[in-house]
A and B are shown apart, each in its own frame.
Chain A
Amino acid sequence: MKDIAQRALNVAQLQGASYADVRIIHQQTQSIVVKNGHVEALSHNQNQGVGIRVVVNGSWGFASSSILSVKEAERVGARAAQIARASALVKTSNVALGPPEVHVAHYHTSVEIDPFSVPLQDKIDLLLAADAEMRRVKGITVAKGNMDFVRENEVFASTEGSYIEQEFVESGAGIEAIAVGEDEVQTRSFPNSFGRQQGKAGYEYIGNQELVENAQRTAEEAVALLCAPPCPSRVTTLILDSTQLALQLHESCGHPIELDRVMGEEASFAGTSFLTRDKLGSFRYGSPLVNIYADATIPGALGTFGYDDEGVPAQRTRIVKDGIFVGYLTSRETAAWLGQRSNGTMRADGWNRIPLIRMTNINLEPGTWELDDLIADTDDGIYMATNKSWSIDDKRLNFQFGTQLAYEIKKGKRGRMLRNATYTGITPEFWGSCDAICSEKHWQVWGLPNCGKGEPVQAAHVAHGTAPARFRNVRVGLM
């Protein structure tokens, strides 16, 4: 691989590149889906290629190919330079990357059990066992389970002298029960929605999820939801479980702190951000209880790595301190605009995509409450769990979420189950109303394997650590 990388960089420099980097990636994935007692889909995918990013005449160009050869690397390097020259026809300033990043390193995900070494039959048997448990519950129309495994080997090299080899391993699994009634379809999933709970870990991560043990309860909740009363429309106190709070954090904090987005670079697609540069260091994002940080070094978390796709080391960065907005996610180019150094969040979802600023593991620091005490302390409200639908405006202010499950809270006790629960709000008002966060005991990192951004769309694997939290005066029940 080293000869391909070096040749691509050499050609780019000969074509006038003031900077170039190359990534050579080989990715292997295994995906299993079981449904209603049989294997619905089983696939094994291998994918490889080389992507070259260059700066010529002060502008960016990128080209990629699935053919891994020195000759093709020469073609792709020259192509990237040609594209960069075309970019320079419409530029307002020259690309500046700040100080060089030079690292020669090796990193790999720490794994106890290589998921690709586990017999396929064992994986299928586990999913079918959970599937059977769900279908034992009367009223279940569809029972589903899935597992996904990823191994990615990446070489990064740059004209500044970096040469970094990384190996990432991911494991994920989840189950879902669907009950269909008259004019109603209700879904419950475990441990989370979006198909599965995934981490940068080996097969041991699957064993810890207790899919079979939770299958019957998951199915029973789906059936019970068919007959549950709808969530009433009103303003009330809301307690979110940690899975839903993870997505709330993702949409209303993770995306608006991406500095490329703030600077308008995603304006035509996903939008911009209300967290403009004038707000850095002074804007009240949430209540004084709210402390948020990005950390790409948490063992086992889906957004963890050694170096980002610009070769910058993984870091921990404070985002919100005591409710005040204090930090962005940055790249080398955007950090230079602020006179800072990149905090290492540029990632691409393959050899054929450019790196973009992506969330790593964006986490809400735990508080001090026990969940039972929090419910007991709530006179009137609603508890919502597990995401079902999500939507937020293009500056990340007005949001609306729906959850799979909800319970009313009356006089400090959990009451009736409610179906089709939704809540809506404006981001800083919502986080400003946070008056309680549960303790470290309830804090968990949730992997999100489908974060979309960019054109062509890239799906990033990110994560969020959260514990259940309480919010006051929230509008619920919009349908």
Chain B
Amino acid sequence: MLGPERMKEIAQRVLALSKAEQTEVLLLGEDTQLTRFANSRIHQNVAERNVEVRVRAVAGKKVGVATINDLSDGALQEVVEQALEIALLQPENPDFQSLPRPRPLPEVESFFQATADHSPEKRAQEIHTICKLSTENRLIASGAFTTSSLEICVHNSLGVFAHAPTTVSDLTVVIMSDDSSGYASASSPDVSDINAEQIGREAIDKALRSHSSKAIKPDEYPVILEEYAVAEMLLYMAYLGFGALAVQEGRSFMANRFGQRITGENISIWDDGLDKSGMPLPFDFEGVPKQRVNLIRNGVATAVVYDSYAAAKEGKESTGHALPAPNTYGPQPTNLFMKPGKATKQEMLASVERGLWVTRFHYVNPVHPLKAILTGMTRDGTFWIEHGEIKGAVKNLRFTQGVLEALSEVRMISEETKLIRDFLGGIRAPALCIDRFAFTGVTEF
């Protein structure tokens, strides 16, 4: 970690070197460690230290971006000149207005020293606990334990200056036997929140209960989706439809539907980068403060997120959801929340006469983006429910299901939620009990 003073000094040096009309420098520092285990042994154990300098140069309506991870004076001079050179070489982009101007930045604590200090030895000890428990149950453990310190600094020639350190920790566990598997995971900015033994026991319990799975006929069934599966659906909703550019280009399921009901009334989804129960960060990659954006409120399509480029097209202000430039996919929500309900998973289970319990999804992809139809497989704990009780494991199934239709038939929502790590943030999701979910195929295990 370079720290705020050193990062500011580098950023100021870059701005001073630039001859562009407007210049932005984004510094991304990373000190990440990851321990992977498989077959109940640590087989990969890595550490990375890197600082990337990303310069965006503006000449009128022309924008060029250059990056480098060499902090020497010569390299910084080169990257600044390169950004302007490629900006000047291109035709004007009429949609580009300006880099963002400074706005007051909120404060949110997202750096935890315990995470930054978490050593390879500590990770090994916690993994040893999981592997030992697995072996005692004649099972095989695999998974990954990540601890990461990140530092983000944005400085532009219009006066924006933003700096924040943040930490991320994430433990995923898959426990297997010859004919069963179970999954559990935990994520938090603070590694002290992660109880490795508890996560290991959750996955072991699933693996022990998913032996001797039977095939069931693909059909529409009532389903209980655990938080892991719900988070996966929310991730794809964000990717397909919650960004302003997707709406402007007509490829979002939110396009032309604002003010209309698109899910059941019991569904509310929002993005909040300042909520400490997520993976908070006070600003985006343009240094714009993050705003809470209500995406779906009581089933009604309400809003999408903006970066400065997409906002300027509509004469709006950015909501603080820019990704690092250049970004042709548009703004994205990275701190999603779904409103919890009041049910327990036991109450959900008791309410299902005949149906399925799904732990998580695997290899999900959109089949029809505009209708938000997804396909994917179930994995690591799929069970048959009869008369309100789990009757045994079933072979994994393929689903092909419209997300909005599924969220229109949510019978119960859990009070408990889980934080699941996303590529750039996190998703806090409840479990859902859904009246109908379309399973279209079955596999052999």
Query: Which 8 pairs from chain A and chain B are nearest by CB?
Result: A41-B326, A86-B120, A398-B443, A180-B250, A43-B65, A268-B142, A39-B90, A87-B42
- Whether A180 pairs with B400 at a CB distance below 8 angstroms is no
Contact of A354 among B46, B363, B366, B396 (CB under 8 A): B46
- Whether A265 pairs with B440 at a CB distance below 8 angstroms is no
- Whether A398 pairs with B46 at a CB distance below 8 angstroms is no
Task: Kindly provide the distance from the CB of A357 to the nearest chain B CB, expressed in whole angstroms.
Answer: 12
Q: Which of B245-301 contact A (CB under 8 A)?
A: 249-251
Q: List 18 A-B contacts (CB under 8 A).
A: A31-B326, A35-B328, A41-B65, A43-B64, A65-B50, A66-B51, A84-B45, A89-B128, A185-B251, A264-B38, A264-B142, A267-B176, A268-B174, A389-B367, A391-B375, A398-B377, A456-B146, A479-B368
Q: Which residues of A contact B50 (CB under 8 A)?
A: 49, 64-66, 352
Cα distance A121–B89 in the bound complex, in angstroms: 7
Q: Which residues of B contact A426 (CB under 8 A)?
A: 443-444
Given contacts A86-B123, A268-B173, contact A64 B48 (CB under 8 A): yes
Q: Which residues of B contact A35 (CB under 8 A)?
A: 328
Within 8 Å of chain A (Cβ to Cβ): is B95? yes
Within 8 Å of chain A (Cβ to Cβ): is B138? no
Task: Kindly provide the distance from the CB of A219 to the nearest chain B CB, expressed in whole angstroms.
Answer: 15
Within 8 Å of chain A (Cβ to Cβ): is B322? no
Within 8 Å of chain B (Cβ to Cβ): is A47? yes
Q: Which residues of A contact B119 (CB under 8 A)?
A: 86
Contact of A391 among B66, B144, B364 (CB under 8 A): B364
Please report whether the interface of chain B is mostly helix, strand, loop or mixed according to DSSP.
Answer: strand
Cα distance A38–B94 in the bound complex, in angstroms: 8
Closest Cβ neighbor of B53 among chain A residues: A46
Q: Which of B419-444 contact A (CB under 8 A)?
A: 440-444
Within 8 Å of chain A (Cβ to Cβ): is B127? yes
- Whether A60 pairs with B49 at a CB distance below 8 angstroms is no
Contact of A41 among B46, B51, B327, B445 (CB under 8 A): B327
- Whether B362 pairs with A456 at a CB distance below 8 angstroms is no
Closest Cβ neighbor of B176 among chain A residues: A267
Cα distance A121–B120 in the bound complex, in angstroms: 49
- Whether B51 pairs with A62 at a CB distance below 8 angstroms is no
Contact of B124 among A47, A87, A128 (CB under 8 A): A87
Number of interface residues of A (CB under 8 A): 80
Cα distance A89–B40 in the bound complex, in angstroms: 11
- Whether A33 pairs with B328 at a CB distance below 8 angstroms is yes
- Whether B328 pairs with A390 at a CB distance below 8 angstroms is no
Contact of B38 among A40, A49, A265 (CB under 8 A): A265
Chain A window 105-142, contacts with chain B (Cβ cutoff 8 Å), 1 for yes, 0 for no: 00000000000000011001000100000000000011
Cα distance A456–B371 in the bound complex, in angstroms: 31
- Whether A89 pairs with B32 at a CB distance below 8 angstroms is no
Within 8 Å of chain A (Cβ to Cβ): is B86? yes
Closest Cβ neighbor of B181 among chain A residues: A267
Q: Which residues of A contact B326 (CB under 8 A)?
A: 31, 33, 40-43
Q: Which residues of A contact B51 (CB under 8 A)?
A: 66
Q: Which residues of A contact B63 (CB under 8 A)?
A: 42
